[in-house]
Chain A
Amino acid sequence: MKLGSYEIKLEKRVALRGWEATAISTFAILFALVVFSFVFVQAGVDPLTGYKEIFSFAFLSSFGLPLTINRFIFLLLCTYAFIIPMRAGLWNIGMAGQLYAGMLSAFAVAFAFGGKGSQGLTLSPGFVIPLMIVAAIVGSAASGAIAGFLKGKFNTNEIVVTMMINFITFWVVARMIKEGGLFMGSSGEGEGFKLSEYLFAPLIKGIPFTVFIALGLGVLLWFLFAKTKLGYQIKVYGKNPIAAKYAGISPSKIPVMVFSLGGLIAGLAGYHYFAAVPGVYKITKNYGEFGDLAFYGIICGLISQGNPLAAIPIALLFGGLTNGGRFAQGKLKLGFGIDYALLGVLMITLVAFQFFYRYKIVFVKTEKEK
């Protein structure tokens, strides 16, 4: 294409630097917001007012911010649960099932030690709380490991397996909390029992301590992939399983490893939301919605291209928007689903802009005709 005395060309990028990726993503977000303004205009709302409501509720209000942070922790953990298998070239679609497995395991521990409602604890909380976390980790890792084992041993499609486990676990939860299930709450309204207040996870300035786990994992995963032997093995397998085998990397071990690790982190997300977020502390009726929310982990993982540190701002943004979008929708009396529409536009733009990860636009001064 020609523009005056310049020619515009697409050029393949040889390497993508960190700041370039950041700039491209930021530009994509701004672009999405501009595009979405038309929806606001269509609905008769000034876009600036609309965005102000969304962002000020999500990130500045004393009521909205904690909700955003809780969602952020949840999303970030789900993102990590997706990223680890992704780096091995495998797709974890089973964050929902894994987080339910972690949630059930944690509540099983609480149940076993008398943590159900007002019963007396048979052991000190200082022992039961860590045990709940360990149970969540082990339960969800085991759930993830099934897909990994089947992949490594029989080359079963991991997407199908994790998907199926989602359904199975979803119904196991229903069996446990409804119609006389072991974990049924006292109200009998289709939700789980409330945790004894001794078992409420510790808060730091009103924020669940799990935020440190999530952020700490970010650093840990960055280190895993950048420096460690295991991270290297995962990356080689992810790029080329046959070359991995040549280099002495066990093609059956890596899938089990990444799905156990991914599942483990999804289990922490389950523990976080149902046992550490203030005001919840039970398996809620709408647990299915959180299973659905877990799928945003896939989006955040893809946008951050498997980079655990880049996932942090992206999960924060999505956490804030799911939260602020819903709020603004109610306050400005916008149509149903407008919050999801915003997220949709954002996702498509972010993914579309990844084109610029591979290509750049260059202006070439055209030579004068001879």
Chain B
Amino acid sequence: MLLESIKRGDTVLEAKGITKRFPGVLANDQINFEIKAGEIHAILGENGAGKTTLMNILFGLYQPDEGEIYLYGEKVNFKSPLDAIEHGIGMVHQNRKLIPAHSVIENIILGHPRAGNVLNLKRAGKEITELCDKYGFKIDLKAKVWQLSEGEKQVVEILKALYRGAKILILDEPTSALAPPETKRLLESIQIMTNDELAIVPFITHKLPIVLEVSERVTVLRRGKVTARLETKDTTEKSLAREMVGREVIFRMERVEVEKGKPILQVENLSALNDKGVLALKGVSFSVHEGEIFGIAGVSGNGQQVLAEVLAGLRDAEGGTLLFDDINILHNSSLERWLKGIGYIPSERVDVGSIGDFSLVENVAMNYYFDKKYAKGGVVDYKKIRKLTEEMIAEYDIAAPSPDTTAKSLSGGNLQKLILARVLSRKPRLLIANLPTQGLDVGASEFVQNKLMEAKKERAGILLISEDLDEVLSLSDRVAPMYEGKFMGIIPGGEARREVVGAMMAGLKPKVDEI
């Protein structure tokens, strides 16, 4: 079949009986699916369902053990991603693979066969500008990548694939790091692209509703198998989640009403520098009460991380006051804060929250070695901590063969459960949860959210930092959208409207009557 003669609705790619085994794991088990020209075909599945493996096979990174791939009716056998690219398959990875110090245009033409040894930036610039105009992308080609927002970087990745002539575009978690307005713009562009008979295949674990808005068909994977092939119009968010997880998932967490207690944390005009020495937290004031979830909504990099670190005692403040239980703790060390009852769940669960080479017991000890009940006279009671770890594994349903397993062998969701179990077991009076469900699939996210709600019931004050607008809105009693180191306001959670909070996250001041 000639590329030019492809019409909307023709099958462009067909996978038959794809099977891929890894030692001890059947990652893909007889997967069949097809993609048609001009459609957006979502592939749903939890972490570990086999999506990544499938995607890597389509993109030539892995070769399947069994099964065949047909492209435009012809059997193909991709030996490498370069092969796949030459056949018109483009892929945008979740972790952006761009060079921050280079400009947008340099990144786009990097590795392009036509770039050669002498760069013809002028011609490339003209062609890329045409692509942008056609699909409605707005981007400054001369800007350096490090200056771009996450959404803009995503656009650069997409342009890169398109410029290399991609006819089938695979997107891995395309909206996971984007603010709502950026997501909206991206989805609009994606829809325009399909007019050109481009097939677009987003892989998704979370944020079901947004992408389902635009997709026409959905294939659901669970444990390496296709469990459902559906027309999007016949589905609901709930039914898709059920297919994906294999059980009912509660979407809107019922906000438990707990009588609000006295303020446990009072923050006044707090400011701090980031690692580059730039003022990244610019005077925020708020309080968190007992039995309250105070949500901070915002796109990463707007000062949330700095705020969390200052509160946890991991970063010095530039100014302001910080009262915990009416006592100034601004100059307390992180250890003193743990001992006072401030628990911190860091966003970097691998690099900060745990130690990969350590056993689970030793990881649990991170929050217990200083506890007199678990370490008498300078000697750590590892037996007791081991027992505690076993209890956590049972209660939190952590998939680990034994407490002696190393933390690095746990999946992201299980590691997060361990950290959550460890921090919550200290019964903190104030819990700082920084992106607690980031990168987790629907099932694990739900678990974590439930546990936060339980902690609230036990009258802990909780500061929830999240990029996921739905999560913040459904869990929080009050929400503060954060933009460039400042709160754009503090709104009661129940009344907050999605669009308003989304706009505030992007730096827009709401009109009074909108709130």
| A contacts, CB < 8 Å to B | 14-15, 227-230, 232-233, 235-236, 239-240, 242-243, 245-250
Provide the main secondary structure of the chain A interface. helix
**Interface 9-mer from B48-56, B65-73, B218-226, B352-360:** B352-360
Cβ–Cβ contact A243 & B353, under 8 A? yes
CA–CA, A93 to B404, complex, Å? 34
Partner of B335, one of A232, A242, A243, A248: A248
Asked if B378 and A246 sit within 8 Å, CB to CB, the answer is: no
Closest to A242 in B: B352
Distance between A2 CB and nearest chain B CB, rounded to angstroms: 19
Do residues A227 and B382 form an inter-chain contact, with CB atoms below 8 A?
A: yes
CB contacts (< 8 Å) of B314 on chain A: these are 245-246
List 12 additional A-B contacts (Cβ < 8 Å) besides A230-B378, A250-B333.
A15-B404, A227-B379, A229-B379, A229-B380, A232-B362, A232-B369, A233-B369, A236-B366, A240-B355, A243-B352, A247-B367, A250-B335
Instruction: Please give me the 5 A-B residue pairs with the lowest Cβ-Cβ distance, nearest first.
Output: A248-B335, A247-B366, A248-B334, A239-B355, A246-B352
Given contacts A246-B312, A248-B334, A249-B335, A228 and B379 within 8 Å (CB-CB): yes
Cα–Cα distance between A242 and B353 once the two chains are bound (Å):
9
Distance (Å) between the CB of A281 and the closest chain B CB? 38
Write out, one digit per residue, whether chain B residues 345-388 have a CB within 8 A of any chain A CB (1) or not (0): 01000011111011000100111011000010011101000000
Q: Tell me which residues across on chain B come within 8 A of A229, comparing CB atoms.
A: 369-370, 375, 378-380
Tell me if B344 is interfacial: C-beta within 8 Å of chain A.
yes
Q: Once the chains are docked, how many angstroms separate the CA of A249 from the CA of B365?
A: 12
User: Which A-chain residue is minimally distant from B336 (CB atoms)?
Assistant: A248
Name which of A232, A248, A250 has the most chain B CB atoms within 10 A of its CB: A248
Q: Which residues of A are found within 8 Å of B336, using beta-carbon distances? A: 248
- A248 engages B351 (CB within 8 Å): no
Closest chain A CB from B8 CB (angstroms): 44
Chain B residue nearest in CB terms to A247: B366
Cα-based distance from A311 to B476 in the complex (angstroms) = 55
B338 CB–A CB distance under 8 Å? yes
Given A227, A248, A250, which contacts B380 in the complex, CB threshold below 8 Å? A227
Nearest CB in chain A to that of B344: its residue: A246
Considering only residues 408-432 of chain B, those with a C-beta below 8 Å from chain A are 409
CB distance from A187 to the nearest CB of B (A): 49
Contact assessment for B334 and A243 in the assembled complex, using a CB-CB cutoff below 8 Å = no
Contact of A248 among B338, B354, B355, B409 (CB under 8 A): B338
Query: Which residues of B have CB within 8 Å of A235?
Result: 358, 362
Determine which of A14, A232, A242 lies in contact with B351 in the assembled complex, contact meaning CB atoms within 8 Å: A242
Nearest-neighbour CB distance to chain B for A107, whole angstroms, equals 34
Contacts of A249 in B (CB 8 A): 335
Known A227-B380, A229-B375, A239-B358: A248·B352 in contact at CB below 8 Å:
no
* B355, B378, B404: the one within 8 Å of A236 (CB): B355
Whose C-beta in chain A lies nearest to the C-beta of B375?
A229
Within the complex, what minimum Cβ distance (angstroms) separates A66 from chain B? 38
Indicate the member of A15, A243, A245 with the most B CB atoms within 10 Å: A243
CB distance from A63 to the nearest CB of B (A): 44
Q: Hey, which chain A residues are within 8 Å of B382, CB to CB?
A: 227
- Mask for B273-296, Cβ within 8 A of A = 1, else 0? 000000000000000000000000
B370 proximity list for chain A (CB < 8 A): 229, 248
Closest chain B CB from A294 CB (angstroms) = 29
Least CB distance from B309 to A in Å reads: 9
> In the complex, what distance in Å separates the CA atom of A243 from the CA atom of B358?
12
**Distance in Å from the Cβ of A244 to the closest Cβ of chain B?**
9
Docked-complex contact A245 and B355, CB < 8 angstroms? no
Which chain A residues lie closer than 8 Å to B357 at the CB level? 239
- Whether B353 lies near A246 (C-beta < 8 A) is yes
Nearest A residue (CB) for B335: A248
Query: Which chain A residues lie closer than 8 Å to B380 at the CB level?
Result: 227-229, 232
* Residue contact B365 to A243, C-beta cutoff 8 Å: no
Q: Taking the nearest CB of chain B, how far is it from the CB of A15, in angstroms?
A: 8
- B365 close to A246 (CB less than 8 A): no
Given contacts A230-B378, A233-B369, A239-B355, contact A246 B346 (CB under 8 A): yes
Provide the residues of chain A in CB contact with B344, threshold 8 Å. 246
Q: State whether B378 touches A243 (Cβ < 8 A).
A: no
A to B CB contacts below 8 Å, 28 in the list = A14-B409, A15-B404, A227-B379, A227-B380, A228-B378, A228-B379, A229-B369, A229-B375, A229-B379, A229-B380, A232-B365, A232-B369, A236-B355, A236-B358, A239-B355, A239-B357, A240-B351, A240-B352, A240-B355, A243-B351, A243-B352, A243-B353, A246-B334, A247-B366, A247-B369, A248-B333, A248-B370, A249-B335
Quote the shortest CB–CB distance from A173 to chain B (angstroms): 36
> B409 to chain A: which residues have CB within 8 Å?
14
- Closest CB-CB distance, A49 to chain B, in whole Å? 46
A228 to chain B, nearest CB (A): 5
Residues of B within 8 A of A232 (CB): 362, 365, 369, 380
